[in-house]
C-alpha cells in the first residue's frame, strides 16, 4: 500500500477496531456470537508500524482531525463531505479512484476526504 491516503484509511480502520475492542458492550456482543478478542496488543503494535510509514505532516493532520471529530477521514458522496454534509467546491470535483494518491481536506470542516 503506497498511497498515503489509503494508509490513513487503514490507520483509521485500526483505530475504529481498537475503539471497538476497548468497548465492553461491543466485545460482549461479539463474544455472545462466538468471537473472542485474542490479542489487542498486537493491534496496537500494528497501528504504530502503520503510523511510522506516514510522513510527519500527514500524521499530525490525521491526529488533529481525529482529536477534533473522532474520525479524521470521511467519505465523499455526490460531491458532499459526509463529515459536515457541506457540498464541495468545484475544484474538488473528482472521479472515484483518480484521487486516491492525494490527501485532500474539506474546506469547510478540515476532515480528510475519500471519494467512495
Partner 1 sequence: MTATGLAPYCDEQLFIPALAARDRDQVLVEMVDRLVESGRVRAREVILHTVRERERIWPTAIGKGVAIPHGRSLVVPELTIVFARLADGVDFGAEDGDLVRLVFLILAPYHEKANRYLPALGKVVELVARDETRERLLKVNHWSEFAALIGEAS
Q: Which residues bind partner 1 (CB under 8 A)?
A: 1, 6, 9-10, 12-14, 16-17, 21, 29-30, 33-40, 42-43, 46, 71, 73-75, 77, 96-97, 100, 114, 116
Residue 21, φ and ψ in degrees, nearest 5: -70, -25
Dihedral of alpha carbons 102, 67, 84, 74, sign = positive
Nearer to partner 1, 66 or 90 (CB): 66
Q: Which of 51, 39, 68 is nearest to 15 (CA)?
A: 51
Question: Minimum distance between the CB of residue 55 and partner 1, rounded to whole angstroms?
Answer: 18
Nearer to partner 1, 33 or 93 (CB): 33
Residue 58 corresponds to which cell in the numbers above? Answer: 500527514
Q: Which value, in Å, is the radius of gyration of the alpha carbons in the chain?
A: 16
Nearer to partner 1, 72 or 88 (CB): 72
Amino acid at each position: 500500500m503506497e498511497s498515503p491516503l489509503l494508509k490513513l484509511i487503514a490507520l483509521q480502520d485500526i483505530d475504529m477496531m481498537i475503539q471497538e475492542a476497548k468497548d465492553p458492550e461491543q466485545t460482549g456482543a461479539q463474544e455472545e456470537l462466538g468471537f473472542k478478542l485474542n490479542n489487542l496488543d498486537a493491534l496496537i503494535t500494528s497501528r504504530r508500524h502503520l503510523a511510522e510509514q506516514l510522513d510527519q505532516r500527514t500524521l499530525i493532520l490525521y491526529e488533529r482531525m481525529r482529536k477534533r471529530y473522532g474520525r479524521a477521514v470521511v467519505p465523499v458522496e455526490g460531491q458532499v463531505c459526509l463529515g459536515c454534509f457541506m457540498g464541495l467546491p468545484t475544484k474538488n470535483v473528482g472521479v472515484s479512484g483518480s484521487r486516491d494518491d492525494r490527501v485532500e481536506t474539506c474546506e469547510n470542516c478540515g476532515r480528510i476526504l475519500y471519494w467512495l
